Amino acid sequence: YIYIGGQSAVLEIPFEGEHELENAIHCLAVMLLLGINQETIRQRMASLTLVGTRLEVIEGVNGCLLVHDNYTSDFNSLAPALDFMKRRITPDCKAMVIVSDLMHDADTDLEDLYRRMAELLAIAGVSRVIGIGPELMAHKGCFGPESEFFASTEEFLHKKSTSDFRGELILIKGAPEFGFGRICELLEARQHETVLEINLDAVVSNFNAFRSRIKPTTAIACMIKASGYGAGSHELARTLQAQGASYLAVAVHDEGADLRRAGITMPILVLNPTVENFHALFADRLEPEIYSFDFLRALIREAGRYGITDYPVHIKIDSGMHRLGFLKEDLPELIELLRSQDRVVPRSIFSHLCAADDPMEDDYTQQQFDYFDECCRMLLSAFPERKILRHILNSTGITRFPDHQLDMVRLGIGLYGVKTMHDGSQDDLRPVSSLNTVIISLKNWPEGTTIGYNRRGTLKRQSVIATIPVGYADGINRHLGYGNTSVMVNGIKCPTVGSICMDACMIDVTDVADVKVGDRVEIFGENIPVDDLAEVLGTIPYEVLTSVSQRVKRVYYRE
Ligand SMILES: *Cc1c(COP(=O)(O)O)cnc(C)c1O
C-alpha cells in the first residue's frame, strides 16, 4: 500500500476473500490514521482471523429447533436475528432466547440498554429468556418472571440439561467470548457427524437468478416435492414464502399438510393427490392437480359433502410426457363437468415438458407448446369471467424458452443450484446442499494391505486410510466405492477405497498434509458437484439429492 502519497509498505494478511480484503483495508486505514507504527500494523494484520457470520438452524433435542447466531452480540444485531427466528414460530412452539451480555461502548447506560433489549424480546413474542453474563445478572429486573440468569456459560451448562428444553424454538446468540457453541452442542439432536448443510442464501440467490430471467408479472411456483429435493421442505418453504414465491408445489398430500403444520400460509399445489382424507385436504387448503375424471368427480362429491364451494384446482394437460393429464379431446367433457357445478373452480391449467434440456428434441418441445396453447384457449374461453393461470416451464424451460413463461413458471432443480445446462447459461446458480462428514479414524498401512469387505480395496502404495461415518444407509450408493468417486479433505480430492459399508466407508488421505481425526470431509457441495456423483452412477443429480437418507441431519444456514 501507499499511504497518502508517502509511506509505502507490503503487508500480508491470512486470507484472500474479497470481503475480507475490504475489511482488512478498513483496519489498515484506521491504524495508519491513528499513526500506529508499521511493525505493529504488520504483526496485527498477520494475526487477524476470519469472523463467522452464519445464522444456523439446527434440529434440537426434544423437538426443539435451534437458531444459532454465532457472529456477534450487540444490540443492533439482535433485531435481525429475532426477525429470522420469528418467521419460524408456529402455533405449537414457543419462542425463547439464550443470550449473553451485549457488547457495547464503555459509556453506555446499561439499565437503558437492557431495558430496550427486554422490550425487543417481548415484541418478538419471546416468552422465556435465559441470560448469561454478569451484566444481565445485574439487570434481571428488566425481564419477565419466566426468565433465568447465569453468571457464565459454565454455570448454565452445569445447572441445565437437555430435559429443560422441549418443543421450543430457541435463539442462541452470544458474544464470541461466551463460547455459546457449547450450548449448541448440548442442545443439538446430534446422532452422528454426517450432515447435509443447506445454504438458504444460495436458495434466495438462485430464486432471484430465475426471477431475473422472467417478467416481473410472471408468478413463480417453487417445487419442493420430495422434501425439497432432499434438502428438507420446512426451511425452504419459509425462505421462499419470505422471498415472494407465489406457489409451493409438493408431490403428496402429507407433504402439504406438514408445511401447514409448520406455519406455511401461502398457496400449495399437490401434484399427486391420491387422497384418502378429503376433509384434511380442504381443511389445509391444499390445491390438488386434476389429471382424471375419476379424481375430479370424487373431489366434487366430497366438496359437496363438506359444503365447500369455489375450491381451487389445477388442470393438468398431457402435452407429450404421457404420464398424467387430460388430452385435447377430453376437454369438452371436462369443461362441461366443471361448468355444471360450483364446488371446484379451475385456478390454473398446466403441462410439463419432457425434454426441455435436449436441443435435439426442440421440435417435440415446440409441439408441446403448441398443443398446450390450444388446450389453454379452449379452457380459458369457457371461463371468460375467471383468471386462470397458465404454466408449462420447469427450470430448464425457463432458461431455454423464456418466451413461453405465460402466467407462471415452475422452478425445481435450479432452485437447488444444480445446473441442467452446461453451456454457461446457468453459471449464475450456486450450490445449495453440501453433504459433509468428518474423519473418525486414521491408520497407516503398508502397500498390499486390503481394505474393507471381501478385501475389495488393495493398497498400491504405503497409505494413510481414513474412515468416515457415512455409508449406503445414508444414501451413499455402493457404486461410489472402489475409487469411483473422490471426496474433498482440506482441499485435496481423496478417492474412496474398497466397498462402501452400511454406516461407514474408507478414503485414501495419503496426499493430505497434516490430516487429523475430526477433519471435515465434503462428499458433495461447493467443491464436488452433485453432477460428478450422478455421472459415476449413470443417473441424474435429482436422484443423488433425493437419496440422502432421512437419518442425515439437515442444518440450515444463512451467510
Ligand atoms: C418436478 C416438476 C417440475 C420442476 O422440474 P425441474 O426440472 O426440477 O425444474 C415442474 N413441473 C412439474 C409438474 C414437476 O413435477
Torsion sign, CA atoms 481, 485, 491, 497: positive
Q: Is the CB of 248 under 6 A from ligand 1?
A: no
Same domain? For 119 and 243 the reply is: no
Give the number of other Cβ atoms within 10 Å of residue 298's Cβ.
Answer: 13
Quickly list DSSP for 250-264: ESSHHHHHHHHHTT-
What is the number of the ligand 1 atom nearest to the C-alpha of 420? Answer: 7
Same domain? For 270 and 406 the reply is: yes
In the reported structure, the alpha carbon of residue 115 is separated from the centroid of ligand 1 by a whole-number distance in angstroms of: 50
How far, in Å, CA of 380 to CA of 193, rounded?
53
Annotated catalytic residue 316: no
Q: Is the CB of 412 under 6 A from ligand 1?
A: yes
In the reported structure, the alpha carbon of residue 415 is separated from the centroid of ligand 1 by a whole-number distance in angstroms of: 11
In the reported structure, the alpha carbon of residue 391 is separated from the centroid of ligand 1 by a whole-number distance in angstroms of: 11
Residue 173: the pLDDT is 93
CB 480 within 8 A of CB 498: no
In the reported structure, the alpha carbon of residue 342 is separated from the centroid of ligand 1 by a whole-number distance in angstroms of: 30
Is residue 422 in a domain? no
User: Per DSSP, which regions of 457-552 are E strands?
Assistant: 457-458, 463-468, 486-489, 492-497, 505-508, 520-524
Quickly list DSSP for 193-234: S-EEEEEHHHHHHHHHHHHTTS-TTSEEEEE-HHHHHTT-HH
What is the number of the ligand 1 atom nearest to the C-alpha of 225? Answer: 1
CATH of the domain at 524: 2.40.37.10
Question: Considering the entire predicted model, what is its pTM?
Answer: 0.75
CB 271 within 8 A of CB 288: no
Annotated catalytic residue 311: no
Domain assignment of residue 526, given as a range: 433-558
- Quote the DSSP letter at residue 306: T
pLDDT > 70? residue 432:
yes
In the reported structure, the alpha carbon of residue 354 is separated from the centroid of ligand 1 by a whole-number distance in angstroms of: 10
Q: Is the CB of 223 under 6 A from ligand 1?
A: yes
Residue 60: the pLDDT is 86
Is residue 423 in a domain? no
Q: Is the CB of 227 under 6 A from ligand 1?
A: no
Residue 190: the pLDDT is 61
pLDDT > 80? residue 189:
no
pLDDT > 70? residue 177:
yes
What is the number of the ligand 1 atom nearest to the C-alpha of 414? Answer: 9
Same domain? For 497 and 475 the reply is: yes
* Cell representation of residue 325: 393429464
Same domain? For 207 and 176 the reply is: no
Mean pLDDT score of the chain = 92
Query: Which residue in this structure is represented by grid cell 364451494?
Result: 309
Distances (CA, A) of 82 to 95, 126, 183: 10, 9, 18
pLDDT > 80? residue 437:
yes
pLDDT > 60? residue 52:
no
Same domain? For 173 and 60 the reply is: yes
Quick: pLDDT tens for 326-359. Answer: 999 999 999 999 999 999 999 999 999 999 999 9
**pLDDT band at 53, cuts 50/70/90?**
low
How do beta strands 311-316 and 168-173 pair? unpaired
Pairwise pLDDT comparison (72 vs 429), residue with the higher score: 429
pLDDT > 80? residue 273:
no
**pLDDT band at 77, cuts 50/70/90?**
confident
Same domain? For 269 and 373 the reply is: yes
In this prediction, residues 138-157 reach a mean pLDDT of 92
Residue 490: the pLDDT is 95
How many Å separate Cα 281 from the centre of its chain? 26
CB 283 within 8 A of CB 262: no
User: Per DSSP, which regions of 225-378 are E strands?
Assistant: 247-250, 268-270, 286-290, 311-316, 344-350
Last residue of a domain, one of 355, 389, 416: 416
Same domain? For 68 and 33 the reply is: no
Residue from 1, 3, 364, 453 carrying the catalytic annotation:
453
In this prediction, residues 428-439 reach a mean pLDDT of 95
Give helix 200-211 / helix 233-243 axis angle, nearest 10°.
Answer: 50
Residue 213: the pLDDT is 95
Same domain? For 409 and 459 the reply is: no
How far, in Å, CA of 438 to CA of 498, rounded?
18
